[in-house]
Chains A and B, each alone.
Chain A
Amino acid sequence: MDKYQAAFDAIIEKDDRVEPRDWMPDDYRNNLIRQISQHAHSEVIGMQPEGNWLLRAPSLRSKQVLLAKIQDEGGHGLYLYSVAETLGVSREEMIDQLHEGKAKYSSIFNYPALNWADIGAIGWLVDGAAIVNQVSLQRTSYGPYSRGMIRICKEESFHQRQGYEIMLHMAKGTPEQKEMAQDALNRFWFPSLMMFGPHDADSAHSSKAMQWKIKRESNDTLRQKFIDKTVPQAEFLGLTVPDPNCKWNEETGHYDHSPFDWDEFWAVVNGNGPCNKERLDHHKKAHNDNAWVREAAVAYAKKTESTLV
């Protein structure tokens, strides 16, 4: 084995972090680029369902809060694109791959946000699931990704709370509001659980990623953590998780769940969810409509090359 491979193996073995200038196997690099760019695209595409409610937020307070959250998600996308760029891929390439459908994003964002309760459910469940995943990734073996996750987790802490606050208000509100909250939970529960990806036995990328410590916990482990945290939160709201089999299991020390509808999951991943086309079209349109901004920036940069700031 050559000394570069040995040095890399030692870093992984010792639970140290790989840095951008360290030698790393091509597969490790490509695996990271795929995962991180997908993560970045998810943050950015995820702004769309929530952005849809900015102008209809029920109060100035909730509008400020939602705007701040969406702004954070845009920031998360930028951190993650920057992390991927340290691996030698350009932002332009990543955007092209997204537009050509070669790069994926989390399929949860292909579901619409139909009403204000959905904004609550998204913050509570979708950000909640993302947090469980991202907390685990704070220990990923790639240094810049790990540091990015630490920063993102700090920022995420208000996202889930603002969602839960909306759910609380609605669940404790009028019967109609409570019904909306329950309906949002019904629609977002299973898609949120499927955000963790296929079962461990069927996960194409997982085992290599686990060996390299890019991923530290398996899809099923993370999913179970999320279920165990979230079911009591639903009970506190007086809402019911839409799964008759979701009961506490004394023996395993976890909540059980019904089998998932993986056909639906794969249909959405492969482009046939309710909003896939809309999300991608909107991203392309924004990117193309704003080409003039990039051109203007180039012109301005030329003009100001010699100034200090």
Chain B
Amino acid sequence: MESGDKVWEVFIQKKSGLPFKHAGSVHAYDKKMAIQNARDSYTRRGEGRALWVVPAEAIISVPLDEADAYFNPSEDKIYRHPTFYDIPDGVENL
């Protein structure tokens, strides 16, 4: 990783136990500056109880023009859902 000014993605955990959610990004020169900038930019109103920063260049994304090929194959697999199965009335806790 090169040193100097770079972009960091910011993830905030709102409450204990919840997943960390992407909030936005900040510029910073090092790790410590990155979490401080993230705190100052994104958690001024009690938005979080925990914070992660990740170098933006570490994020890999599915290219939008390939999204169909990536995600559509799950659409016709309705048997992955519990509603696919006939459970007669009178059977409980299933």
Contacts and interface: CB of A to CB of B under 8 A. Distances in A.
Q: Determine if chain A interacts with chain B.
A: yes
A143 interface: yes
A233 B79 contact: no
A158 interface: yes
Contacts, number: 59
Contacts of A19: 13, 50
Given A19-B13, A68-B80, A157-B82, A233 B50 contact: no
A309 B13 contact: no
Contact of A147 (B19, B62, B94): B19
Nearest to B91: A236
Given A19-B13, A68-B79, A233 B94 contact: yes
Interface in B1-45: 13, 16-17, 19
A61 to B, nearest CB: 8
Interface string A227-242: 0010011001000000
Interface string B63-94: 10000000000000101111011111011111
B81 A309 contact: no
Contacts of B82: 157-158, 161
Nearest to B85: A161
A309 B60 contact: yes
A14 B17 CA distance: 12
B79 A165 contact: no
Given A158-B80, A229-B93, A165 B50 contact: no
Contact of B17 (A143, A157, A229, A236): A143
Q: Most A CB atoms within 10 A — which of B79, B82, B94?
A: B94
Contacts of B62: 309
Contacts of A232: 92-93
A145 to B, nearest CB: 11
A309 B63 contact: yes
A16 B81 CA distance: 31
18 contacts: A64-B77, A72-B80, A146-B17, A147-B17, A147-B19, A155-B80, A157-B82, A158-B80, A158-B84, A158-B85, A160-B94, A164-B85, A233-B91, A233-B93, A236-B88, A236-B91, A309-B60, A309-B62
Question: Which 3 pairs, one residue from A and one from B, show the smallest C-beta to C-beta distance?
Answer: A16-B16, A17-B17, A161-B85
Interface of A: 11, 14, 16-17, 19, 61, 64-65, 68, 72, 143, 146-147, 155, 157-158, 160-162, 164-165, 168, 229, 232-233, 236, 309
Interface of B: 13, 16-17, 19, 50, 60-63, 77, 79-82, 84-88, 90-94
